[in-house]
Amino acid sequence: MGFSPKFKLYNSTGVTLGYTFSAVQYTNAPQTTKKLVEVRGQRGIGSVIISGGDKDSWELVIRGTLYNETGNDYIGLTSKIDAMETAIVLDTPYILRIDRSGSAYYEYKVKRIKPISYGESFRLNFQTYDVRFQVNTW
């Protein structure tokens, strides 16, 4: 069976797991969090590259689906939506870890500054979601 990465949201210390995203189907991560500065000389040939620290803030997108394992159950699916909204509070610093392998992961400092959006659905069997975080905002 193939490897399926987990998307886990931790508190700002990275110790306490706050939320695990289910059935992630799209993300624009990983992206490098470093930037480089190029310095060109007036008379010389070539340039010098200097590490410029962390990259500017950028938007990280996670799209997925919440599934209802018990069948047609509006209340069960709505409770999963409520749990996501409760666990991922606006303007709160988090650490997002995305598995690279069984023992390694990408790590980003994130904040959610936009509402979570949900696709149109009767909310019986599944519900799509779109969560957007700002990276490097704390």
pLDDT tens digits, residue range 43-60? 777 888 888 777 778 999
Q: Whole-structure pTM over 0.85, yes or no? A: no
Look up the domain containing 103 and give its range: 7-135
> Whole-angstrom Cα distance, residue 23 to residue 125?
14
In a domain, 39, yes or no: yes
What total number of domains does the chain contain? 1
Per residue in 67-115, pLDDT (tens digit) is: 988 778 888 899 999 999 999 999 999 999 999 988 899 999 999 999 9
In a domain, 2, yes or no: no
Read off the pLDDT band of 117 (50, 70, 90).
very high
Strand partners, 10: 17, 95
**124-130: average pLDDT:** 92
- Residue 85's pLDDT is what? 96
In a domain, 53, yes or no: yes
CATH number at residue 11: 2.40.30.200
Read off the pLDDT band of 1 (50, 70, 90).
low
In a domain, 21, yes or no: yes
Q: Residue 34 pLDDT > 80, yes or no?
A: no
> Whole-angstrom Cα distance, residue 118 to residue 81?
9
In a domain, 90, yes or no: yes
Q: Cα–Cα–Cα angle for 22, 89, 35, nearest 5°?
A: 80
- Residue 104's pLDDT is what? 93
Percent of the chain with pLDDT strictly greater than 90: 58
Read off the pLDDT band of 31 (50, 70, 90).
confident
In a domain, 52, yes or no: yes
Residue 77's nearest CA partner among 126, 13, 28, 138 is: 126
In a domain, 110, yes or no: yes
In a domain, 1, yes or no: no
